[in-house]
């Protein structure tokens, strides 16, 4: 952890944590915007250990509001892909740097956003997308992409957002499914992160000071969510996914 917490550092970390809170109650992909901010401020390794307990706390806040709205069938469909994505990423790291993998992921996400926008304007593709075999392939693809992005760049929210947008689920189902999915995923990460020493007594104590920022973000998210309709919710989700993808392509 940094030895000196300057006002600028506190501000950047605070904004990132606000975005984490917002992502749990309004727009999951917002966390992908906050992640790079936190990594730039603290360093990728320190940020990963510092953020995880706060993310789990944010998940619990999200579950207070959306726990009854999950679509467990959608979660079950992406789980095999997520596991495959995690394994693929571990193998990729033996041959390529993290930044290269992140840029490749960014390109794949950006292409996926473009295809989703095009699909919505093409009746033929819209009908094709209703085919059950196509939907299974999509679940595998986005599940794998979620696993890869989670491991390589802590950006799993973008791929999962694209998957749920493509499935055209209602807003409440979108949030309930996303919150449960990432709560389970983040808890699974704990046994791997703790032995690596990424979560320390110091990081936990400093994290306590940023809980108000997390709560503020969650409350802002609840207010924003109540004022959004389905059309704007999906448009904002796609826009943020595109921005997150561009960030990965540019910064790696």
Write the DSSP string, 28-78. Answer: TTHHHHHHHHHHHHH-HHHHHHHHHHHHHHHHHHHHHHHGGG--HHHHHHH
**pTM (predicted TM-score):** 0.86
Task: Report pLDDT digits (tens) over 231-247.
Answer: 999 888 888 888 888 88
Q: Are 43 and 35 in contact (CB under 8 A)?
A: no
Q: Which residues contact 132 (CB under 8 A, 6 or more apart)?
A: none
Task: Report pLDDT digits (tens) over 64-102.
Answer: 999 999 999 999 999 898 888 878 876 776 677 767 777
Find the angle CA(156)-CA(36)-CA(5) to the nearest 5 degrees: 135
Q: Say if residue 134's pLDDT is above 70.
A: no
Res. 117 pLDDT band, cuts 50 70 90: confident
Q: Which of 233, 230, 180, 173 is nearest to 60 (CA)?
A: 180
**Neighbouring C-beta atoms of residue 192, cutoff 10 Å:** 9
Q: Are 38 and 206 in contact (CB under 8 A)?
A: no
User: Residues 197-226: what's their mean pLDDT?
Assistant: 94
Tokens 């304007």, residue located: 121
């Amino acid at each position: 952890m940094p030895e000196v917490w300057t006002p600028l550092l506190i501000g950047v970390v605070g904004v990132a944590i606000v975005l984490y809170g917002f992502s749990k109650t309004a727009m999951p992909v917002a966390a992908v915007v906050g992640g790079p901010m936190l990594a730039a401020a603290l360093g990728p390794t320190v940020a990963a250990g510092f953020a995880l307990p706060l993310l789990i706390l944010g998940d619990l806040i999200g579950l207070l509001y959306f726990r009854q709205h999950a679509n467990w069938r959608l979660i079950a469909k992406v789980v095999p892909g997520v596991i495959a994505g995690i394994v693929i990423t571990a193998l990729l790291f033996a041959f390529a740097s993290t930044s290269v993998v992140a840029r490749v992921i960014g390109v794949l996400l950006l292409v996926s956003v473009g295809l989703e926008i095009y699909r919505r304007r093409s009746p033929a593709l819209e009908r094709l997308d209703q085919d059950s075999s196509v939907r299974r392939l999509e679940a595998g693809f986005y599940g794998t992409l979620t696993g890869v992005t989670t491991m390589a760049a802590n950006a799993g929210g973008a791929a999962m957002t694209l998957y749920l947008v493509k499935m055209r689920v209602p807003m409440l189902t979108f949030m309930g499914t996303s919150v449960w999915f990432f709560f389970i995923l983040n808890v699974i990460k704990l046994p791997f992160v703790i032995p690596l020493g990424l979560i320390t007594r110091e990081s936990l104590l400093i994290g306590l000071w940023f809980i108000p920022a997390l709560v503020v973000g969650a409350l802002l998210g609840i207010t924003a969510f109540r004022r959004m309709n389905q059309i704007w919710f999906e448009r904002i989700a796609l826009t943020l996914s595109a921005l997150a993808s561009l960030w990965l392509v540019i910064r790696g």
